[in-house]
Amino acid sequence: MTTLPDIRDRVRSDLRDLDADAARWSDAELDRHISRALADVTLAAPAEATTVVATTPGSRALTTAVLPNFLELESVELPTDSFPRRYVPFSVWAETITLEPPAPPKGERARLRYLARHTLDDQGTTLPEAVEDVLATGAAGYAAIAWAAYAIDRLTAGDDVAERFRLWGEGRLRTFREQLREHQRPRRVRGGRLAASD
């Protein structure tokens, strides 16, 4: 499984920053740029997750606190053992999921399908393998632009080094955004109902 150090190595390779004794970017700096690119990847193609939770008899409320890295609830299946599947209407406000079936749950288990933030650490990632290089491309672009801003007033950088880094970084970010569009989750129109006015 791919880890944060693996992605960091890919970013260093893209940046040609392979000399450990003369590294232009520290691990902490690269991790910050990787984190920023990971947030962009999450917005375009969030992780899809499923969990089963117990309902409380007579209560329509569930909490999003039990959903790791929760972004958005897609569906609630209640009960989980029905065929065909039965999906119930719901609403989400803050951390409360309100189930809106005709009768309150009786303690059945509910299957929640939701979108979540991607994670990346020393143990692994939730990113699909196809998006890992996309992430590295974005992180390298962010790192190059940050270094260009830092190098503008440095005498040791050379006349056009900062500009070359900026242009290279902008090119990587353009490529990153194009690749994100290719992997973007399709947006769907959602049905809903309005409350009756009094």
**5-27 pLDDT, tens digit each:** 999 999 999 999 988 888 889 99
Which of 128-132, 164-168, 179-183 bottoms out in mean pLDDT, i.e. has the lowest?
164-168
Vertex 116 angle, CA 124 and 98, to 5°: 145
Percent of the chain with pLDDT over 90: 73
Q: What is the pLDDT of residue 179?
A: 94
Burial string for 35-44 (b: 16+ CB within 10 Å, else e) reads: eebbebbbeb
SS3 content of the chain, % helix, strand, coil (to 5): 45, 20, 40
List phi, psi (to 5°) of 162. -60, -45
**124-133 pLDDT, tens digit each:** 999 999 999 9
Vertex 11 angle, CA 69 and 129, to 5°: 50
- Mean pLDDT along residues 145-153: 81
**82-133 pLDDT, tens digit each:** 889 999 999 999 999 999 999 999 999 999 999 999 999 999 999 999 999 9
- Domain ranges within the chain, ordered by starting residue: 4-44+120-183, 47-116
Q: Are 109 and 55 in contact (CB under 8 A)?
A: yes
- Mean pLDDT along residues 153-159: 61
Reply yes or no on whether the pLDDT at 189 is more than 80.
no
- Mean pLDDT along residues 161-167: 85
